[in-house]
Amino acid sequence: MKRLAFAIACGSCLACITLAPTDVRDASRVDLERAVAVPDAPRAPVPAPVPQVAAAVPLPSRPLKAPPPLFTVLQPVAGKPIVSFRLVFHTGAVDDPKGKEGLTALTADLMAQGGTRALSSSQLLDALFPMAAELSATTDKEFTVFEGRVHRDRLDAFLKIFTDVLLEPRFDPKELDRLRTDAVNAIVNQLRGQDDESLGKVALDALLYEGHPYAHFNGGTVEGLKAVTLDDVKAHWKTVFTQDRLVVGLAGAVDAALEKRLKDRLAALPATGAPAVKLPPAPGVHGKAWVIERDTLSAAESMGASFTLRRDDPDYYAVAFAASYLGEHRQFHGVLFTELREKRGLNYGDYAYAEHFHQDGWSSLPALNVGRSQQDFSIWIRPVEPQNALFAARGAVYFLNALTSKPAPNDRFEIARGFLIGYTRVWEQTDQRRLGYAIDEAFYGTPGFLDGYRKALAELTPEAMLAAVKRHLSSDGLNFVFVAKDAQALAKVLSNQAPSPIAYPSPKPAEVLAEDKAIATQALPVSPGAVEVKAARDFMER
Amino acid sequence: MRFRGVLVGLAVLTWAGTAAAQKFQTFFPYPLKVATLPNGLRVVRVPFESPGLVSYYTVVRVGSRNEVEADHTGFAHYFEHVMFKGTKAWPEGTRDALLGRLGFSENAFTTDDVTVYFVNGPSTSLDKLVELEADRFRNLEYSEATFQTEAKAVLGEYHKNAANPGLKMEEELAATAFKVHPYRHTTLGFYDDIKKMPGYFEYSREFFRRWYTPDNTLVFVVGDFDDAKLMAWVEKGYGSWQGKAAKLVIPAEPAQKEARQVHVDWATPTLPRHLHAWHTPSAGMSLTDGAVQSVLSAYLAGPTSPLYKQLVLEQQLCESVSTGYGEHRDPSLFSLTATLKEERHRAAVQAAFDAAVRDAVSGKLDAKRVQDIKDNLRYSLLMGLETADHVAMQLAYFGGVLGGPGSVDALYQAIAQVKPAQVSAFAKRHLTDSNRTVLTLTPKPAAEKAGQP
């Protein structure tokens, strides 16, 4: 698409895979079931009791499904002129060797951008440019996606290039240097230096999964990237980009003949390579807080907890809907958005997520093929004025407590339900997105995922939602990350939990002010000894 | 999805007044139906294969370009937020609630020239959507307290963007290159002005009267709907909307006659930046000038340009090289930007920029590359029209900036006609030293090391 210059500002063939056994989820429900009293009436601003946080309880890992080698999703669309390729390898940052964090993403980048045996990186650009063909690779914790789009006029030329990228990458040492430097800069300059919100989200991952293969940034660490050699890349390519890890997606102007051509070529990939990484239990921490110190105008906040809930759990739809009710990503009617932004003007937006939150550029749609064996719940508070940092965190906890303690009011429940039944259809409008959902279904074992979601929503009641939420969520399980300038001061108030009243420049309704008094002293589930100040300049160094 | 490759028959509907006949479309693959209501509102419909779904865009031709009063920068964007605050019939919160319940998602954005409101959702409730949208454009009503609360949300938006040096660069470049035209401030506005916004309640009423008028607005509906029913709902909802857009004089920017320079020190880790910008004519005034700049943009610094290959792939002095060009109503800026890997490469990058411009000016353009660029632009357009939302976005944005419902097609027709000699002549006329502003950004530690201020 021609880029718009905005000054500112957004029939698959499925594997027959049964749902995973449900008993596993009960083994590790930690203390996420504690009921938390919600203050119903205004109170005097007295210091909140400092909570005693229970010890972490590890959450066992449960591997995702392994579809058969070269399992294929074929979705022809009559009359459509565009061909979409979506090749999803079950490999990601978890496959990075210790001390070489970033190897998988760097290998994928070198494949997608570094040229092929026939074409240098420069010639690759020359070939793709006139067709406006799209070819990219993205790496997440457990998956790497090679995405291609081309007009059918140019299919033959593109198919050769797209498969050469996978089968005959050039592995030019000069390109490795270039892409490695870019990857280091993405940490040193972009993540640490110019994106407080991403820094907060990546730091929350690091906090929740300390010592676990999920802990490091998908793009790697500075020292890990610097340790990678060209031989490492070549060896990694052969061992993780293999047939047994690959699901093939084709949509648009496609047919069985194209599927055969593609798969005939992909048969040249190694049949198998390294065994799948056996993930250790997630640490299951709660009650911890990191304050990342950075010279910034405002305070960015993320909070969350790892949990055992996944799409293949019978409670998933109810809890996912509860998160949407609390704060659907970048939408206007969630509880957090309404209460914190609309009524109080705290910031630009406030949202909640029942799966690991993965922002896909400016899109408001959920990212695809970023599945995880181990999931987490999180809340994203967009930057607030520094003096309101604690109040905003307390507000999030206060409204989460309301969600977990009493049935949602019928009127708000119906708004959220009606919205999501319609909005989920917007999630599956493009070929790439439909492929993405079908491929996720294969790995989670959840055929007909979105239809199932809409059906479950139609039958859900506020009481059933509350029951499911109580089985999986509690503010007691939360951990917190703040990115702020005066980190020491924020750490201090987090530890002593002094009241944090808020002042407004305009009149507020009495009911808002009354609720503010309760929020100002809302206990945060953070223990004084679990608050750490960290410097942004050291983040993801090793 | 139905795809019409080259020529699409015209579709004309007479509707309660003047009817705009679309010329034959040659590049935009979907037929447009255009009607103009007696009050001046233009309504553009595009049937599109999106079963059960519709995309509804409203474009008001107001942006930061219209912010002519001192201390009111950023107001068009702020007012975009206010447009969600309700009416007498649908007070604050009730509109959101109803749209949500019906399954619609909505949002909006503001640029230098336009404010765009968009809603996506089920066709089955399109009647209610038309009613709600028409109601807020006719009858917006909000309290002073609500207005003031929203100002804090806008401040939050500034805060979320401020961590990235891109905002500061944009602010400094605009303020240096422009002296009188409102393009001298960003769409977000100056930070100090944003902080004053809660005091502008009365002004906000005036702003609504000035610019939110039917003759200054276009509605685009794309997707699965019954056209006759839609137009009946539109007439009922918008027919009584009255008002004429204000005729304020937007100060014209005088020609720049001397080279200008501005430097930014950035206190936190980032890579150095180097930017050259020139005043150029707008696509809004001449589609040919817009088309030539689309081609020139890719020719100078696109992924197949010698500049990109030299600085990014071969010498690896830069992480990225790009051009900044976007269609505008008024003469704006055309720019070249590099993100340097190290401060010490700045002189070499500046020399490479100068050489690339000299090459374009020389008249010896690579005709194959020009053709490749035109092919790229044409295929990019086609590949970017996959959903009703994509189609509506393209139509609405270009329609709003360039002024006509069929502006996308007209622009791409103009691009197809661009000749290498035109590109070269344009570069020679506008990419001159005296018309140039150079912006440099240095991370502070590097600045100290290099002995810069």
Co-location of B416 and B273 in the same domain = yes
A168 burial (CB, 10 Å; 0-12 / 13-18 / 19+) is: middle
Query: B76 and B220 in one domain?
Result: yes
User: Could you tell me which residue, B249 or A528, shows the higher pLDDT?
Assistant: B249
Do A243 and A289 lie in a common domain? no
Residue range of the domain that includes B191 = 11-238
Q: Are residues A382 and A305 in the same domain?
A: yes
Is residue B22 pLDDT above 60, yes or no? no
Question: Rounded CA gap, B416 and A58, in Å?
Answer: 62
Nearest CA in chain A to B120: A426
Instruction: Report which DSSP code applies to A282.
Output: B
Do A81 and B157 make contact, defined as CB atoms within 8 angstroms? no
- Which of the residues in chain A have pLDDT under 70? 1-54, 360-361
Residue-level pLDDT at A363: 78
Q: β-strands B436-443, B260-266: how paired?
A: parallel
Q: How far is CA A347 from CA A350, B82, B121, B133, B153, in A?
A: 8, 15, 27, 26, 5
Q: Look at residue B181 and tell me if it is in a domain.
A: yes
Q: How far apart are CA B245 and CA B216, in angstroms?
A: 6
Instruction: Name the domain boundary from A235, A266, A297.
Output: A266
**Separation between Cα atoms, residue B35 and residue A288, nearest integer Å:** 60
How far is A413 from A415, CA to CA, in rounded Å? 6
pLDDT confidence of residue A529: 87
Mark whether A255 and A143 lie in a shared domain. yes
pLDDT at residue A375 in the model: 96
Closest CA to A196 of A288, A304, A298: A298
Confidence (pLDDT) at B24: 55
Tokens of A461: 């009641």
Q: B262: closest CA among B280, B251, B277?
A: B277
- Indicate the helix (H) or strand (E) that contains B34: strand B33-36
Query: Is A17 part of a structural domain of the chain?
Result: no
Residue A415: both structure tokens together: 């708004």
Does A118 contact chain B (CB < 8 Å)?
no
Neighbour tally for B380: CB within 10 Å = 18
Parent domain of A352: 284-538
Same domain, A303 and A397: yes
Å from B384 to nearest chain A CA? 4
| Cβ contact B101–A330 (<8 Å) | no
Interval B236-255 mean pLDDT: 95
pLDDT tens digits, one per residue of B342-392: 999 999 999 999 999 999 999 889 999 999 999 999 999 999 999 999 999
What CATH number is given to the structural domain containing B173? 3.30.830.10
- What average pLDDT does the segment B428-437 reach? 97
**Is B4 part of a structural domain of the chain?**
no
Query: Residues A343, A257: one domain?
Result: no
Domain count, chain B: 2
- The span from the CA of B85 to the CA of B81, in Å, is 8
Task: Flag whether pLDDT at B341 surpasses 90.
Answer: yes
What's the rounded Cα separation, in Å, for the pair B209 and B192?
A: 25
Is B19 a member of any domain?
yes
A154 with A218, same domain?
yes
Distance from CA of A175 to the nearest CA of B (A): 8
Report pLDDT for B308. 97
Question: Is residue B344 one of the residues assigned to a domain?
Answer: yes
B150 to chain A: closest CA residue: A345
All residues of chain A having their beta carbon less than 8 Å from the beta carbon of residue B156 are: 298, 341, 345-348, 382-385
Element (H, E) at B401: helix B388-402
Pairing status of strand B11-12 against strand B33-36:
parallel
Which pLDDT does position A442 carry in this prediction? 97
User: What kind and span of H or E run contains A303?
Assistant: strand A299-307
- DSSP-assigned letter for residue A288: -
CB contacts of A178 in chain B (<8 Å) are 312-313, 316
- pLDDT for res A477: 92
Of A132, A298, A364, the CB nearest to B380: A132
* Whether B71 and B127 share a structural domain: yes
Strand order, beta sheet including B217-223: B11-12, B33-36, B42-47, B217-223, B53-60, B115-122, B105-110
Please name which of B161, B172, B155, B163 lies closest in space to residue B78, comparing C-alpha atoms. B155
Q: Which residues contact B173 (CB under 8 A, 6 or more apart)?
A: B262, B275, B277, B333, B335, B437, B439
Complex ipTM value: 0.86
Residues A461 and A425 in one domain: yes
A126 lies within 8 A of chain B by CB: yes
Domain boundary among B180, B206, B238: B238
Other Cβ atoms less than 10 A from the Cβ of A265: the count is 16
Has residue B248 been placed in a domain?
A: no
Whether the pLDDT of residue B255 is over 80: the answer is: yes
Which H or E run contains A86? strand A82-89
Specify whether B74 is located in the same domain as B203. Answer: yes
Instruction: Identify the pLDDT of residue B373.
Output: 96
User: What pLDDT is attached to residue B25?
Assistant: 64
Q: How high is the pLDDT of residue A6?
A: 29
DSSP B183-248: GGS-SS--HHHHHHGGG-HHHHHHHHHHH--GGGEEEEEEES--HHHHHHHHHHHHTT-------P
Task: Please tell me the distance from the alpha carbon of residue B411 to that of residue B325, in angstroms, as a whole number.
Answer: 14
- pLDDT above 50: residue B7: no
* H or E element, residue A292: strand A289-293
pLDDT number for residue B155: 81
Contact A297/B at CB under 8 A: yes
Do B121 and B211 lie in one domain? The reply is yes
Q: Which of B77, B271, B314 sits opposite A189 (nearest CB)?
A: B271
The Cα of B15 is separated from the nearest Cα of chain A by a number of Å equal to: 31
Task: Work out the mean pLDDT of chain B and round it to a whole number.
Answer: 89
Q: Which residues pair with B335 in a beta bridge?
A: B277, B324
Pairing relationship of beta strands B105-110 and B115-122 according to DSSP bridges: antiparallel
Q: Is B1 a residue whose pLDDT tops 70?
A: no
Beta-carbon contacts of residue B369 (< 8 Å; ≥ 6 apart): B299, B304, B305
Asked if the structure places residue B1 within a domain, the reply is no
Q: What is the CA angle B109-B111-B117, rounded to 5?
A: 30
Q: Which chain B residue shows the shortest CA-CA distance from A508?
A: B145
Q: In terms of domains, do B228 and B292 share one?
A: no
Same-domain pairing of A316 and A246: no
Beta-carbon separation of B387 and A82 below 8 A: no
A255 and A288: one domain? no
Q: Looking at the structure, do residues A349 and A236 belong to the same domain, yes or no?
A: no
B380-426 per-position pLDDT tens digit: 999 999 999 999 999 999 999 999 888 899 999 999 999 999 999 99
Q: What is the reported pLDDT for A107?
A: 98
B291 within some domain:
yes
More confident residue, B16 or A325: A325
- Residue A21 belongs to some domain of the structure: no
- The count of domains in chain A is 2
A262 and A365: one domain?
no
Residue B4, pLDDT > 80, answer no
Q: Is A363 on the interface with B (CB under 8 A)?
A: no
Give the span between the Cα atoms of A246 and A229, in whole angstroms: 25
Length of chain A: 542
State which H helix or E strand residue A511 sits in: helix A510-520
On whether both A383 and A248 belong to a single domain, the answer is no
**Residue B216: its pLDDT value, please?**
97
Alpha-carbon span B329 to B336, nearest angstrom:
21
Distance (Å) from the alpha carbon of A394 to chain B's nearest alpha carbon: 18
Q: Which of residues 215-244 of A touch B (CB under 8 A)?
A: none
When pLDDT is cut at 50, 70 and 90, the band that residue B8 belongs to is: very low
Burial of A160 per CB tally in 10 Å (0-12, 13-18, 19+): middle
Tell me the residues of chain A between 331 and 350 that have a Cβ less than 8 Å away from chain B. Answer: 331-333, 338, 341-348
Quick check: B216 and B403 in contact, CB under 8 A?
no
Which amino acid type is present at position A127? A
State residue A52's pLDDT score. 52
**Which residues of chain B make contact with A195, given a CB cutoff of 8 A?**
163-164
Closest CA to B351 of B322, B317, B305, B319: B317
Q: Are B354 and B274 in contact (CB under 8 A)?
A: no
Check: CB of residue B174 under 8 Å from CB of residue B186: yes
Q: Do the Cβ atoms of B178 and B184 come closer than 8 Å?
A: yes
Q: Tell me, yes or no, whether A440 lies in a domain.
A: yes
Determine the length of chain B. Answer: 453
Instruction: Specify whether B144 is located in the same domain as B77.
Output: yes
Whether B108 is in a domain gets the answer yes
For residue A16, tell me if it sits in a domain.
no
Q: What is the CATH number of the domain that holds A382?
A: 3.30.830.10
d(CA A337, CA A442): 34
